[in-house]
């Protein structure tokens, strides 16, 4: 599917190039090739894996200086996980620029947000989870965007064509999700994946101030997960797909009678407890998670205030699913000391508070009431060396997520990045199995051209 998607994107681009009718010599090409190695600490199985990936940026001008085509194509080949071997049209859109209005049509990646530990208000694009669990990689979204350069800020309107389903790693990939994901059984509102959603955003900028207000009404990008009985299992109603009615797995009560009691007494028939235990084990062996993408409305606020070396940041979210409203927020500060004690380095201290009131979502519970502490160091050397380190702490239980990322340029067009992620003191909770055992070390070598 990934290869066909990429092939369709290439065909589309070639068709657009031909339709625009400009010389190929005018096309600007840029790209990056990368070699990645990852090591995961796992109890069993192979924890070392590698992959290669490429990203191609294309800029195609036209005879009209205000009209152009921009594209970004991505492909990764993973040595162990077939689901991580995938391609995507990150971007491929026509851009028309005017004095007061701008129009974009095609696949785009749109980012909203200002905070470091978690991007709450970032809504438009679907997460490419096979790339990493941090949510930084996004799939391209087909859309039409109209921008009004208003006197008091910028107003964007988005018409979103369909919903991209989230990618998930396979059984041999990472993160090691304890139950299989039934990707082909995904559920969408009214059974429609290709439907039109919309979003609005107003952004205002003044000296030292960035303010954004957004509204989204459409299919949620982060799914709920329904526990279901796998297709093709021996349970009822699994012939044509997973059955999410777990009541069908409950055994029928044995007929009362002296004969049944006598057979159980003589151990010629299983006891009621043994029947229930066997059924529970059979359910666990055939349990799959079905992603469910409900309708969602969300209002977002992002705010950043800069004064000297201090940056104050806030992201707040109000969202509704199935008539239930919930709130979430990330608030914090970053203070930068330039030329740190004569070293020539720029060193920043970061602090953020993470809150999420949605208690029925596994991933939201990771940020229900947490604190983030971090530091960013720019060495200001010729190699462009940068180090970012941080920890997210849950104060009540003490579980922590440590992360360190460092990168520097090796030669003119080469860059090396190393990052480490460690989970510590996680509580004994089945929900935590979704992130436990994902301690990771990654090395990334990139060549830009």
- pLDDT at position 271 is 63
**Which residues, 6+ apart, have CB-to-CB distance to 150 below 8 Å?**
100
* 378 vs 286: which has the higher pLDDT: 378
Q: Which domains does the chain have, with CATH numbers?
A: 2-228+290-448 (2.40.160.10), 231-285 (no CATH)
H or E stretch including 23?
A: none
The pLDDT-based confidence of 376 (bands split at 50, 70, 90) is very high
Distance CA 45, CA 232 (A): 27
Q: Among 14-23, 326-335, 378-387, which stretch is predicted with the lowest mean pLDDT?
A: 14-23
- pLDDT at position 431 is 47
Q: Is the pLDDT of residue 375 over 60?
A: yes
E strands, 79-208, are 86-97, 101-108, 141-150, 153-161, 196-206
Concatenated DSSP letters of 274-303? HHHHHHHHHHHHTEEEEEE--EEEEEEEEE
Q: Is 268 exposed, middle or buried (0-12, 13-18, 19+ CB in 10 A)?
A: exposed
Distance CA 245, CA 134 (A): 32
Average pLDDT over residues 261-281: 59
Predicted TM-score (pTM) of this structure: 0.84
- pLDDT at position 252 is 58
- pLDDT at position 230 is 86
- pLDDT at position 2 is 46
Scan for tokens 């989204």, then name that residue: 216
The pLDDT-based confidence of 208 (bands split at 50, 70, 90) is very high
The pLDDT-based confidence of 361 (bands split at 50, 70, 90) is low
Closest to 225 in 3D by CA, of 168, 279, 175: 168
Average pLDDT over residues 239-265: 66
Q: How many CA atoms lie within 13 A of 223 on its CB side?
A: 27
Average pLDDT over residues 349-353: 97
3-state secondary structure of 304: strand
Closest to 47 in 3D by CA, of 440, 449, 425, 398: 440
Distance CA 221, CA 297 (A): 11
* 330 vs 362: which has the higher pLDDT: 330
Average pLDDT over residues 266-283: 62
3-state secondary structure of 8: helix
Out of 13-22, 121-130, 416-425, the most confident range is 121-130
| Dihedral sign for Cα atoms in the order 230, 2, 46, 127 | negative
Residues in the chain: 449
Cα 330 to the center of its chain, rounded Å: 17
Out of 94-103, 183-192, 229-238, 428-437, the most confident range is 94-103
pLDDT digits (tens, 9 = 90+) for 152-198: 999 999 999 999 999 998 877 877 777 888 888 899 998 888 889 99
- pLDDT at position 66 is 87
Q: What are phi and psi of 138, to 5 degrees?
A: -125, 145
- Output the average pLDDT for the chain: 85
H or E stretch including 6?
A: helix 2-20
């Amino acid at each position: 599917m990934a290869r066909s998607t990429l092939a369709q994107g290439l065909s589309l681009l070639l068709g657009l190039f031909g339709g625009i009718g400009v010389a190929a010599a005018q096309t600007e090409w840029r790209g990056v090739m990368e070699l990645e190695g990852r090591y995961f600490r796992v109890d069993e199985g192979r924890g070392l894996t590698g992959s290669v990936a490429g990203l191609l940026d294309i800029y195609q001008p036209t005879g009209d200086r205000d009209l152009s085509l921009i594209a970004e194509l991505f492909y990764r080949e993973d040595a162990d996980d077939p689901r991580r071997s995938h391609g995507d049209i990150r971007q491929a859109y026509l851009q028309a620029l005017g004095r007061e209005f701008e129009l974009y049509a095609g696949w785009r990646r749109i980012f909203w947000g200002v905070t470091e530990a978690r991007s709450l208000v970032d809504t438009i694009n679907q997460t490419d989870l096979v790339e990493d669990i941090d949510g930084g990689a996004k799939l391209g979204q087909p859309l039409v965007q109209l921008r009004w350069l208003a006197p008091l800020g910028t107003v964007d309107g988005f018409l979103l064509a369909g919903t991209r389903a989230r990618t998930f790693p396979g059984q041999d990939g990472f993160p090691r999700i304890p139950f299989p994901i039934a990707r082909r059984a995904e559920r969408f509102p009214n059974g429609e994946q290709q439907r039109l959603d919309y979003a609005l955003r107003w952004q205002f900028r003044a000296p030292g101030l960035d303010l954004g207000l957004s509204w989204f009404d459409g299919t949620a990008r982060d799914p709920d997960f329904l526990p279901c009985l796998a297709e093709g299992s021996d349970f009822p109603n699994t012939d044509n797909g997973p059955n999410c009615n777990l009541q069908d797995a409950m055994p029928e009560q044995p007929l009362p009678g002296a004969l049944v009691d006598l057979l159980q007494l003589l151990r010629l028939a299983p006891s009621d407890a043994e029947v229930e235990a066997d059924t529970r084990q059979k359910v666990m062996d055939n349990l799959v998670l079905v992603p469910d993408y409900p309708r969602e409305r969300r209002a977002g606020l992002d705010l950043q205030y800069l004064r000297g070396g201090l940056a104050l940041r806030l992201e707040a979210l109000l969202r509704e699913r199935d008539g239930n409203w919930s709130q979430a927020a990330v608030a914090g500060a970053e203070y930068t000391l330039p030329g740190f004690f004569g070293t020539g380095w720029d060193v920043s201290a970061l602090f953020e508070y993470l809150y999420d009131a949605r208690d029925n979502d596994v991933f939201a519970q990771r940020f229900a009431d947490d604190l983030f502490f971090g530091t960013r160091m720019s060495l200001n050397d010729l190699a462009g060396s940068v180090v970012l380190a941080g920890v997210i702490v849950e104060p009540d239980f003490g579980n922590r997520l440590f992360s360190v990322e460092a990168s520097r340029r090796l030669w003119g067009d080469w860059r090396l990045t190393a990052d480490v992620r460690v989970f510590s003191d996680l509580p004994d909770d089945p929900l935590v199995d979704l992130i436990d055992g994902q301690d990771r070390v990654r090395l990334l070598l990139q060549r830009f051209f």
